[in-house]
């Protein structure tokens, strides 16, 4: 999907769903929770129908990726007892639930397993690596948090380019906004502790745009 048409589609979505801004609750510390009741209302009356293979794979993958974020933050909060991990970890559970809502909507199997366990082998390896990295120090833990949000933003953008379904795009767009807020939160926490964060996955230009947004 070309960038111009993609941006136009998002503009149409923001107009078509007057409740879009209500889906995501953003606190002063950049924690972003998705409102499942508002999401249910926004999806009411929207067509479901059959999905393409990339759309199916995307939903299954994103459900586990949102879970990965929450599980990583839970593990690192147990190690370091930092409020940012507790707050954003709880918010990630609402992000995960939003994707699960779409899985149920399209009668797809729920891949969610127990804490730290993933059906997708790539995500399992990523989880193990991130928790190991984040267990080295508080600085490393906060950097892992920021890296997780970078990965999430890029993966959501990739999945959004694979569909033109308004319900899926609505959820993905709000998840992306949430990840951008969470990235800001981790970067702010690093700065308060005297550390500078350099993006690992995003381009410097995209990263700067998000942080200043």
DSSP for 154-180 reads: HHHHHHHTT---HHHHHHHHHHHHHHH
The two three-digit tokens of residue 134, written as one number: 């984040």
Residue numbers of the domain that contains 7:
3-211
CATH at residue 179 = 1.20.1260.10
Over residues 120-138, the pLDDT tens digits come to 999 999 999 999 999 999 9
- Element (DSSP H or E) covering residue 26: strand 24-26
Strand, helix or coil at 32? strand
Neighbours of 47 (CB within 10 A): 7
% of the chain exceeding 70 in pLDDT = 88
Q: Domain total for the chain?
A: 1
CA 165 to chain CA centroid, Å, is: 18
Neighbours of 58 (CB within 10 A): 24
Confidence of residue 13 (pLDDT cuts 50, 70, 90): very low
Instruction: Kindly report the pTM of this predicted structure.
Output: 0.85
For 19, 21, 35, 108, 161, the CA distances from 15, given in Å and listed in that order, are: 9, 11, 19, 29, 19
pLDDT(60) > 70: yes
Percent of the chain as helix, strand, coil, to the nearest 5: 70, 5, 25
> Measured between alpha carbons, how far apart are the two ends of the chain, in Å?
24
Instruction: Kindly provide the b/e burial profile for residues 93-123, where b requires at least 16 CB atoms within 10 angstroms of the residue's own CB.
Output: bbbbbbbbbbbebbebeebbeeeeebebeeb
pLDDT(146) > 90: yes
Strand, helix or coil at 33? strand
pLDDT of residue 49: 74
pLDDT(28) > 80: no
More confident of the two residues 29 and 86: 86
Which residue from 80, 40, 73 is spatially nearest to 171, judged by alpha carbons?
A: 40
Which residue from 167, 152, 177, 153 is spatially nearest to 66, judged by alpha carbons?
A: 152
Phi-psi region of 121 (alpha: psi -120 to 50; beta: other; left: phi over 0): alpha
Over residues 148-196, the pLDDT tens digits come to 999 999 999 999 999 999 999 999 999 999 999 999 999 999 999 999 9
């Amino acid at each position: 999907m070309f960038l111009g048409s993609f941006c136009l589609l998002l503009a149409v979505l923001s107009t078509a769903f007057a409740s879009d801004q209500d889906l995501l609750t953003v606190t002063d510390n950049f924690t972003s929770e998705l409102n499942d009741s508002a999401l249910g209302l926004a999806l009411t009356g929207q067509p479901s129908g059959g999905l393409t293979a990339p759309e199916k794979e995307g939903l299954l993958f994103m459900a586990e990726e949102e879970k990965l974020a929450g599980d990583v933050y839970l593990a690192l909060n147990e190690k370091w007892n930092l409020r940012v991990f507790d707050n954003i970890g709880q918010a990630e559970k609402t992000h995960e639930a939003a994707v699960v809502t779409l899985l149920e909507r399209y009668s797809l199997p729920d891949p969610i397993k127990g804490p730290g366990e993933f059906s997708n082998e790539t995500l399992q390896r990523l989880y193990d690596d991130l928790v190991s990295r984040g267990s080295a120090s508080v600085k490393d833990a906060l950097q892992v948090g920021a890296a997780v949000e970078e990965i999430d933003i890029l993966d959501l953008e990739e999945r959004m380019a694979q569909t033109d379904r308004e319900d899926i795009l609505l959820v993905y767009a709000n998840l992306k906004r949430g990840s951008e807020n969470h990235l800001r939160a981790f970067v702010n926490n690093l700065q308060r502790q005297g550390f500078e964060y350099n993006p690992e996955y995003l381009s410097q230009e995209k990263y700067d745009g998000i942080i200043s947004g």
